[in-house]
Each structure stands twice: as C-alpha cells, then as structure tokens.
A and B are shown apart, each in its own frame.
Chain A
Amino acid sequence: MKKRLDFKNFSIYFDQYLFIAITLLSIMGLFFLYSASQENITIVAKQAVFVGFGLLLMFAVSQPDPDFYKTFSGLFLLFSFVLIFLTYVFGNEINGAKRWLDLGFFTLQSSEIIKIALPIFLSSYLYNKSLPIDTKHTFIALILIGFIFALVAWQPDLGTGLVVFMSGGYVLFLAGLSWRFIGSAAGIFLLSLPFLWNNFLAPFQRQRVLTFFSPDSDPYGTSWNITQSKIAIGSGGINGKGYQEGSQAHLNFLPETETDFIFAVIAEEFGFIGVCILLSVFFFILVRCLYLAFNARDRFCRLTIGGLSLVFASTLFINLAMVVGVIPVVGMPLPFISKGGSSLLSFYLAFGIIISMATHKKLMQR
C-alpha cells in the first residue's frame, strides 16, 4: 500500500512493495554481478555504491509533490538536453560512439536521463490539454520526440534512441492517440524501411540484423555472441550449474557478461528455477506499477506512471529477448542487474518519481 507516514511536522512518502522489490533486485544484481565479473570485487563495490546512492535517490525524489515535477518538468528536459549537447562536445569517444560524459567521479550516459525526462515533460504538457490528444498537439509532441530520438540515435546509440522514442510514444498512446494515426504511421514506417536500412543503419547494425535472420551464415563471427548465450542458458538446465560455476561465463565463451548478457550468466548458474524467481520479481514490479497507475490521483500522475513503467518494461524485454535470441543484438542493460551507473540511476530516479506520483494525494479533490 502506498503510505503516508505522519510525523509531527512532516510526512514521508514511501511504497514498501516497490521499495522492497527494487532493493531485492538490486541486491540480487550485486550478487550476480560478482560471478558475472569473474569475481571482480572492484566492479561489485563500485556498483554497490551506485545501488546505495540510487536507493537514497529513489527515496529522496519520491518526497516532493507531483506538482513539483509538473512545474519543473520543462527545466528537467532542458537540463537533459544540455547534458546531451555537452556529450556531443566533451563526450568520451568509445568504439566510435560518443555516449558518455565524464563527470570525474563517474561517466554519465546522458541518453539514460532523457528517457525519463521526456515522458514526464509530455505528461505535464498534456495535463491541461483536452484529451484524446488532438492532431496539433500530436505533431508538436512528435516533433519533440523525433528531435530527441535523432539526437540520441546520432551518438550513435540506436538501442537507447528507440527506447527514448518509445518513452514519448507511450505517453502519446496513453493520452489517446488516434488509431487511424497509429495505423498510418506504422504504414509509412514499413514503406520507408528499405530507405532507412540503406541510409540510417551503420554496417555493424545491418550485420547484426542479417545474422539474426540467418545465424548459420557466420557461426564464429557476429552470431557467436548469440550462439554462446543460448548455450549458456540451455546448459543451465533446471537447477543451474551453481553460483560461480558457469563455464560459459567463467571461461569467456559468453561476451559482455557484466552488462548485456548478464541474464545468460544467471540462467546458466541458477537454471530455469533461478530465471523464474528473477522474472517473478520483475513481474511483481510491473504489476505493482499497473495498480499504482490505476489509482493515481490525476492525469499527470497517470500518464507519468504509465510512461515510466513502460520504459522500464521495454528495456527489460528488449534485453531478455536479445539474450534468448528472439531479436537481433542491441546494447540494452537488464534493469537493476547489469553493470552501469547511468542506467541504474535512471531507473531509481524513475521509480522514485513513480512513488511520488502514487503516494501524494490531492486532499482537496475528495
């Protein structure tokens, strides 16, 4: 239950279900990361600092009233823009992509912030418009979404770009975007696929997609990752090989064990049982978000909770689908588990805001 703990002079806003589930997930994440990083205590300690800070952040951002976020959502979005621009100017170039901003104590992936800021801003923007959303506001919103998508995809980071695009798209959809519009947009997208394929995908991205559709064409090249991931998961069996016993992970057959493919490590070491336990925690969080969205106090809160929880769900399922080999390889972390401060903090931030939206009641409305 959402709660408002009354002390004499101030209230604490807190959702114990989400808090416990996310804390549990974070601790499991540290535990898995220790094995996935080949028992690298430095990596785990660094991640633990992020987890601790993230939990505090989540708690802190759940305290202000939703009106605070509504008021400052524009500023938040602006701030995110600035970060992205700074990334373009000062960003660290890694593997030909400028995605990270070196803040001295930590490198920030600026696109992780904007995927939170955008749905909040759109919810706030649509707060006092008449719904279902009309054509004019649809186009205004789409221009904004498209611009941000382009900024992120240009880094280039197509995976996060798509999530950012979705984060805005979900809010529009929830705000009643007309089916006819959705249908025609989908039609235009499909028709322009060949053009997009030739002009907007980098060769490595095209290769990933091609390999996905014919994995045997190149067993030791691009499809190596996905083959090894499937072997890791499959060889885990029902019970798993045991903690730190995963040969695929520990003998380096599996790539990116700490980040994109950490789910394969978990599946290898803890088997189908472990997978079910982990997924049920995620499932619980999503169901809880659905409940909170249904009980939100106003349109802004509803749209924000809906939008943010769907961003979370999208990240989760893209990662899972990639690791089990259902979609081509895209760089996408497993929320709260994968190594990486930016993604971790962005989700703590998102859930902090969700809790704020869910726990603050407008007394005057009753």
Chain B
Amino acid sequence: MIDLDERHIEKRSFFGRLLLVYFFFGALFLFILYKTYSLQVSSYSSYEIAALKNKTKEVLIQPVRGIIYDRNGNILVNNVPTYDLIILPSRIKNLDEFIFNLSETINLSDEDIENVNKNFKQKALYNRELTIKKNLSHEEIAKFEVRSHKFGNAFVDVRYSRENKYPYLFSHAIGYVGGVNDEQLTSILKNQKLKQSETAFKYSGGFIKGKTGLENIYDKQLRGLFGRKSYEVDAAGKLLKEISFEKPINGKSLFTNLDLNSQKMAFEQMGERRGAVVALDLQTGAIVTYLSTPSFNVNSLSNGMSQSAFKKLLDDKDKPFFDRASQGRYSPASTIKPAIALFGIKEKIVDWNFTLDDPGFFVLPEDQRIYRGWKKGGHGIINMRDAIVESSNTFFFSLAYKSDINNLIEHLAQFGFGRNVCIDCFNPDTGLLPTPEWKMNNLNYGWFKGDTVNLGVGQGYLNATPIQLAYYSGFLASKGNIQGLSFIDGEAAINTTFKSDLSINNSDWEKIHSSMIGVIEDYKGTAKRLKPLKSYVVAAKSGTVELVSTETKEDYELVRKNIGNRDHAIIVAFGPMPNPKYAVSVVIENGESGGSVAGPVAIAVLNELIKE
C-alpha cells in the first residue's frame, strides 16, 4: 500500500508540472494567435498587395508608330505589315513531328528551325507565342490557310516593319528607327508610369525608337502610348486568364512640309556627288527639301542590318551617315557678299553709287599683303551692284577693311551665322562665326585686320552649314522676315524666338534683290549660264570655296588633280522674283563652280517647287 501523503505530494508535483507545461503551451498559443492577428489584420493590406502582385502579370502592348507624310499627303514612312507564321509552343507536344508536318506545307530554312528549337522550351513554359517564319508570301499564306485545320496551334498573324517608301531620299531628313537600350526603355516607360515588363510587340524588331532625323525629334508623338493587359499567372509564370485590357494608343501621324517631288529632283540632280540641298517655303519657314548625299538605305537600318554591312557604311570614305545639310561646315565664300553689302549700306561705309577701281587684288595697307580676286586683271571701275553680279573680291575686301569687326559680326549673326536656325533638325551644327575672342581662345592669336578682310568674301574662319545657308537665302529673300526653320507647319511660328532688327530700307533690299537677279540675268553675271534653265526670274549668289589657296590658274590645275582638294561649289538662290516663294541653298563638295555646278541643282529644285 502506497503511503497516502506521499501519493498526495506526488500528485501535486505532477499537476504542478503538467500545468507548467500547459502554461507554456498556452503562452505559445496566444503568441501564435497574436502572430496570425498581426499578419491577417495589422499587416493585411501589404500582404494583400503581395498576393495580388504574385498572381498578376502585366504585359505591355506596343503601340504602332505614326505615319509620316509629305506636304501633299504622300506617305513617306509607313508601317508595313508582314504576315508571320506564329506557333503556340505550350500546346505542342511533339515539336519535331510538328515541325516536320509543317515543313511539308511551308518551307522552313535551317535557320528558322534552329531558332524554334532554341526558344521553344521557354515559350512553352510561359505559354507565349513564337514566331517561326517572317514575311510569308501570298502563296505560302494560301497554302497554309488551306491546311490550317491540321495545325491548330499555328497561325498566321500580322507584324509590322517600319518602312520608308523612299529609303534613299529621306535618310537624313526623316532618319531611321532602331532598338533601345535598357536605360532608354526605362525612361520611355516611366513617362507613362509603366515598368519594364514583358511586352506584346507589334514590330518584328521589338522595342523601337527614332534614332535620327524626324523619327528621333518627333519620337514621342510618333511612338504613341503603350497599352497593357493583365493576366492571372501561377507560380511558374504561366498565363491563366485575362484580367484587364487597356488598349495601346497608336502614335500620331506626322504631317511634314517635305516635298517629295523636289526631294526627288534634288536627289536626281546630285547623283553621285557629295553635298547638300536645302529648300525653304518662305511663307512658313518650312523646310521642303532636305538632302544630304551620298545617302544610304534607311530601311535596312530600321529593320536590322548585318554587322558587316553596317561597318561598310561607317567606313565609307564618302561618309554616307554624315548629315551634311545640318552638320557639314563650309565657308560661305562669295555667297556672303550680299550680307556684307547690306552692312556697308547700313553703316554708311558705302552707297550704291560708290565705285572703286578693281585691279584684281587688294593690298592690305598694314603689311602690304595681297588678297586676290578670281578674275585676273580685275573688274575695273566697279560699283556695288556689279561687285555682287560679277563677284568682285577687291570691292568687298576693301569694304570689309573699312568695317568694325564687332559690328560686322553682330550684323552677320542676324543672318543666322554662328547659331542654330532649325527648330527640329537632328543634331544641327551651329557653324562658326569667328570673333576676336574666339580666335584668341582657340588659336592663341589676336585678330588681324586681314581676318576682317577675309570675312568680307566669306573665306577664312567663317563657316556655315547648308541649312544655315538656306536660312541666309531665305533671310535675303524675305527681307529679313523669316522665322526659325522647321519641317512641320506651324512649329517655327510657335517655337521661334528669332527676331531680326536690321534697319535696312526697302529700297536697299530691292537693290540687293536686283543685284542678285543680275548674277543670273546680266551678261556679266557669274551664274549667267542658269538663265535658260528656267522660265521665271531667280535671284542668286554663287560661291566657290577655295580649299587650297593658289595664286595662278596653273597652280590650281595642279591642285585639282587631287579631287579632294578641288573647290567646293555653293549657291544660294530664291525666286520667283519679285515675290519669292522659295529659297534654296546647294553645296557640292569639290564641285569647283558655284554658278555652273551648284546652280543647275538649285534651279532644278526651284523649278520643281514652283511648278506645283
């Protein structure tokens, strides 16, 4: 018999200890209840979001880029649909068999098949489509459609390519599109408050962005807005069902002022030559012709180009990628003379009756240095009108010599030199309007009087881009009433801060026009050969840019053996006079004669524009 007291003690010890463990578990129980409460009640919203994020997959939907038109409604750049053969890998059990059967209907290249094999597994896992052949022919589509019942998991659908209808004409003006890097993509999407995620592409090329030209400048407008589709997904990322759909907003079309016919004409005229042609509509300040040659095929760049073909273009010594119209720097040469003449009038250094005797050269009084004209023996007694018509250097050397350099620079800046004149050109160069400070800082030399004299004939440090020369031409034509240039109607008026305050009398403007008309119409005019090429009156000023300074014709004959050393040919022109509608500038590298080489191109473009 167990002692009762002992039993009692043992029982109490047991109860005490059992209760102790129970209290421990009770505390644990409360703690777990508290923990669950904090998860489910206190932090509910953050976990709700986490669960939602887990099961939702957003797919971005690419918008289609806007179409680009010329001023007559001709389509310049379009989205060309191609019919692509697309399969649904997740529903295909035996790929080899499927491909084998399919290849009996549609011819698949080894490359196509390799591509499918490489991507099949991943696409199947995530329930995504896979393009197996691009750009099917009508025949292939028909063949496939007839047998499509055999291939439930394959279909033909539209994917776009960005296509310039005139790939060589507008390569610099409109530019090309291309892929974007991660950073660019992030910023593009950020504007729409979107994050980078999987995307349903409309373009075979995936994400695209304007890289150059108008495609780049107006990229935002052309691009449109991404749409998005939300799907429910499982842990493996498999798409289960559609939750919401926000349609993409396709890009807005771009109605440019470019003129297809004049562009074609310019392109034809330039042929194989290097140079640029820019023409403006004077009423609007709109750029109607914009060509840089040699050109390249923008489409092959936009829709994928092989590395070697790209390298070949890059290494081409004629630099087809280089946009000469906005970035090429050329001395304006004699085309600057009307602006210098206006300076002389404005500053009352000369008047229209002033004459001087041109012996064919100018001697700088300071150091007896000789500055030559183009005509041996000179132009004789000559007034300002004839100095423009015949392009007397001596007259303008002398005029520049009498000018204050700072005032002259300020005056030339009004004509667009040394600054950007185009609102929507891609990476425009500002050319160079040299100042004494510039020379000191960059060449470590002070400004010589001779530098001012050189400026009088547009040689020396001064240089300008063809777009600046076109602006200059337009400035002269409109008597200073021109806005900044633009490809798009209205852009110039809206965005411009250009304002000129040249105080030139209308009669002086008329006389400048008349002088420039004389360049073509007078029997002594430097561009008189252009007279028969047109049926209306054109004002012009030609120029010949000396790349190597020579004293005699014989010396130049030696120089011109190297084509790259030949003079550049330049002309600025506008018409029809007396109420000019279009202004044009033409630069032909190593073209030698502004009047007879660049001139015909300018006239042909004007003819084409005025005809319309």
The interface of chain A, by Cβ under 8 A from chain B, is 131-132, 170, 173-176, 228, 230-238, 247-248, 251-253, 267, 271-272, 275-276, 279, 283, 286, 290, 293-294, 299, 302-303, 306, 310, 313, 317, 320-321, 324-326
Q: Say yes or no: A131-B10 contact (C-beta < 8 A), given A173-B17, A294-B15.
A: yes
Known: A176-B13, A283-B29. A251 touches B40 (CB 8 A): no
Q: Are B235 and A251 in contact (CB under 8 A)?
A: yes
Contact A271/B32 with A234-B48, A247-B54, A251-B235 known, Cβ cut-off 8 Å: no
Given known A233-B36, A317-B25, contact A299–B10 (CB-CB < 8 A): yes
Do B235 and A234 touch (CB < 8 A)?
no
For the complex, is B234 an interface residue (Cβ under 8 Å from A)? yes
Give bound CA distance, A231 to B235, whole Å.
Answer: 13
Q: A231-B51, A231-B54, A290-B18 are in contact. Are A251 and B232 (CB under 8 A)?
A: yes
Q: Interface of chain B, helix or strand or loop or mixed?
A: helix
Residues from chain A with Cβ under 8 Å of B59 in the complex: none
Which residues of chain B are within 8 angstroms of A272 by Cβ–Cβ distance? Answer: 36-37, 40-41
B41 touches A238 (CB 8 A): yes
Query: Which residues in B have their C-beta under 8 angstroms from that of A233?
Result: 36, 39-40, 47
Interface positions of B (Cβ within 8 A of A): 10-11, 13-15, 17-19, 21-22, 25, 28-29, 31-33, 35-37, 39-41, 43-44, 46-48, 50-52, 54-55, 232-236, 240
Residues from chain A with a CB closer than 8 A to the CB of B44 are: 234-235, 237-238
The complex places the Cα of A271 from the Cα of B47 at a distance, in Å, of 13
Distance, CA A234 to CA B235, complexed state (A): 18
A329–chain B nearest beta-carbon distance, Å: 16
Q: Do B28 and A317 touch across chains, with their CB atoms under 8 A apart? A: yes
A326 touches B25 (CB 8 A): no
A234 touches B55 (CB 8 A): no
Instruction: Tell me, rounded to whole Å, the shortest Cβ–Cβ distance linking A358 to chain B.
Output: 14
* Partner pick for A251 among B10, B41, B234, CB 8 A cutoff: B234
- The closest CB in chain A to the CB of B20 belongs to A173
Residues of B within 8 A of A279 (CB): 29, 32-33
CB atoms of A235 and B50 under 8 A apart: yes
In the bound complex, what is the Cα–Cα distance between A131 and B9 (angstroms)?
Answer: 10
Contact B33 A176 (CB under 8 A): no
| Contact A234–B32 (Cβ < 8 Å) | no
Closest-by-CB residue of A relative to B43 is A234
Which residue of chain B lies nearest to A307 when distances are taken between CB atoms in the complex? B18
Partner of A232, one of B14, B15, B51, B52: B51
Residue in A230, A302, A313, A320 whose beta carbon sits within 8 Å of that of B14 in the complex: A302
Given contacts A233-B47, A234-B46, contact A310 B55 (CB under 8 A): no
CA distance A166 to B14 in the complex (A): 17
Verify B36–A324 contact, CB threshold 8 A.
yes
Q: What are 15 A-B pairs with beta-carbon distances under 8 A?
A: A170-B21, A231-B54, A233-B36, A233-B40, A233-B47, A235-B47, A237-B40, A248-B51, A253-B51, A275-B36, A279-B33, A283-B29, A299-B10, A306-B14, A324-B32
Q: B55 and A253: CB pair below 8 A?
A: yes
Closest approach, in angstroms, between the C-beta of A189 and any C-beta of chain B? 17
Contact of A320 among B18, B32, B55 (CB under 8 A): B32
A272–B39 CA distance with the chains assembled, in angstroms:
9
Task: Known contacts A174-B17, A251-B240, A290-B18; decide if A271 and B35 are in contact (CB<8 Å).
Answer: no
New contact pairs (6) apart from A267-B36, A279-B33, CB-CB < 8 Å: A170-B21, A174-B17, A176-B17, A251-B233, A275-B40, A293-B18
